[in-house]
Chain A
């Protein structure tokens, strides 16, 4: 699984991830507090400039933004038809600007930096006893590790169906897939404890 981060040395690349997230929050609030076409139009233009300054290239940018742009276009069109031209334009400009700024933050922040920022942000919660901050990075790593395993088991099950002349049905695929992966998940949980990775607390089974 490749991340959407793009190598570079732009202004945005150099800002700390936490600050970028705060800026993104501020931008989204500002966008939803106004309906002024002038402001929204200006913001959208600034968003395009910001995204273009990253040097991702037209083709790559189109591939990245297409799915969300498409949803925005459909919804803006629906708004325009159902409500008014002005409502449609406001929705289009707001959402497009937000998408561009958000995509720019994503493209300029490596996954590891995000995880560090999230882990740091979770430290106060750790003091309250709500989460263990180091679990966040561990959990993210585990998900990335499990995805190819789930897919390869799925493909093996498909092959097994075909070899036995069975039709591939959702239930006959999903159930064995889940049971098989649950078994290996239990082993992995044991391995994490065996390797002392989370710092085991004293535990005695009753």
Chain B
């Protein structure tokens, strides 16, 4: 990993941490506060790609594990890996990877703005929603013994908010791609 890759992964880890500390932003049309760090995970994937995005998420989890309160609500320490929702934390790693891998394949600099935004959105939904929930729900069901179907239904309430986050991440990724051409071309 080049020095630049390492620094970029650390920067996005910090952005994920900061998203958990910042006051929520309200969207104009739907009363959903944008706080969640899961949007940071999507951002890391769509902007940095699979490898660096995954390293960024691993860094956040490492910081949490060594006792720093880096997760939203000031949570941290090894205890966060002992919660029923730990599956979502583990899922972050795979969410960033899948989001990044898809973004690298779906989005090209030559495409129009709309195609790029849609590509990023699809990548963020596949990784940051589908993959993430697969890990979160499975873990919840296994740890608690709740029936898988019931756990699935119970998690549905959070999906609309996450779709909005995916849309914000996609728009941001498209704008960053246009506004900061120093980012290396994707494979």
Do A and B have CB atoms closer than 8 angstroms in the complex?
yes
| Alpha-carbon separation in the docked complex, A98 to B70 (Å) | 20
| Alpha-carbon separation in the docked complex, A188 to B7 (Å) | 7
Given contacts A107-B77, A167-B28, contact A143 B3 (CB under 8 A): no
The secondary-structure label for the interface of chain A is helix
How does the 8 Å CB contact mask read for A192-204 relative to B, with 1 for contact and 0 for none?
1100001000000
Residues of A within 8 A of B70 (CB): 1, 147
Stretch at the interface among B14-22, B99-107, B123-131: B14-22
Q: Does A169 contact B (CB under 8 A)?
A: yes
Given contacts A82-B147, A106-B67, A173-B25, contact A140 B77 (CB under 8 A): no
CB distance from A70 to the nearest CB of B (A): 10
How does the 8 Å CB contact mask read for A135-167 relative to B, with 1 for contact and 0 for none?
110111011111101110010000000000001
How does the 8 Å CB contact mask read for B1-42 relative to A, with 1 for contact and 0 for none?
111101111110111011001100101100000100000000
Q: Does A105 contact B (CB under 8 A)?
A: yes
Residues of A within 8 A of B180 (CB): 178-179, 182-183
Q: Does B59 contact A (CB under 8 A)?
A: yes
Stretch at the interface among A7-15, A37-45, A52-60, A110-118: A110-118
| Alpha-carbon separation in the docked complex, A65 to B168 (Å) | 32
**Interface size band for A:** 35 or more
Given contacts A174-B168, A185-B8, contact A114 B84 (CB under 8 A): no
Partner of B172, one of A28, A174, A186: A174
Residues of B within 8 A of A1 (CB): 68-70
B84 touches A72 (CB 8 A): yes
B175 touches A171 (CB 8 A): yes
Partner of A4, one of B25, B43, B69, B168: B69
| Alpha-carbon separation in the docked complex, A64 to B69 (Å) | 10
Q: Does B138 contact A (CB under 8 A)?
A: no
**Interface size band for B:** 35 or more
A181 touches B11 (CB 8 A): yes
| Residue from B63, B65, B70, B183 whose CB has the most chain A CB atoms within 10 Å | B63
| Alpha-carbon separation in the docked complex, A131 to B182 (Å) | 25
B150 touches A143 (CB 8 A): no
B47 touches A154 (CB 8 A): no
Given contacts A67-B75, A147-B17, contact A139 B28 (CB under 8 A): no
| Residue from B3, B13, B78 whose CB has the most chain A CB atoms within 10 Å | B78
CB distance from A198 to the nearest CB of B (A): 6
Give the contacts of A77-91 with B (CB-CB under 8 A): 78-79, 82-83, 87, 90-91
B140 touches A75 (CB 8 A): yes
Given contacts A2-B69, A107-B77, A111-B66, contact A139 B145 (CB under 8 A): no
Residues of A within 8 A of B14 (CB): 142-143, 145-147, 149-150
A99 touches B83 (CB 8 A): yes
Q: Does A95 contact B (CB under 8 A)?
A: yes
Residues of A within 8 A of B147 (CB): 82-83
B28 touches A102 (CB 8 A): no
A87 touches B144 (CB 8 A): yes
Known: A102-B77, A102-B82, A182-B8. 20 other contacts (CB 8 A): A1-B70, A2-B69, A72-B83, A75-B144, A79-B146, A107-B67, A115-B66, A139-B10, A140-B59, A142-B11, A146-B11, A147-B18, A147-B21, A169-B28, A170-B172, A174-B168, A178-B180, A182-B11, A189-B4, A193-B3
**Could you jot down 17 A-B contacts, CB within 8 Å?**
A3-B67, A5-B67, A75-B146, A83-B146, A87-B144, A91-B84, A102-B82, A106-B77, A136-B62, A139-B6, A140-B62, A144-B68, A145-B14, A171-B168, A185-B10, A189-B7, A192-B7
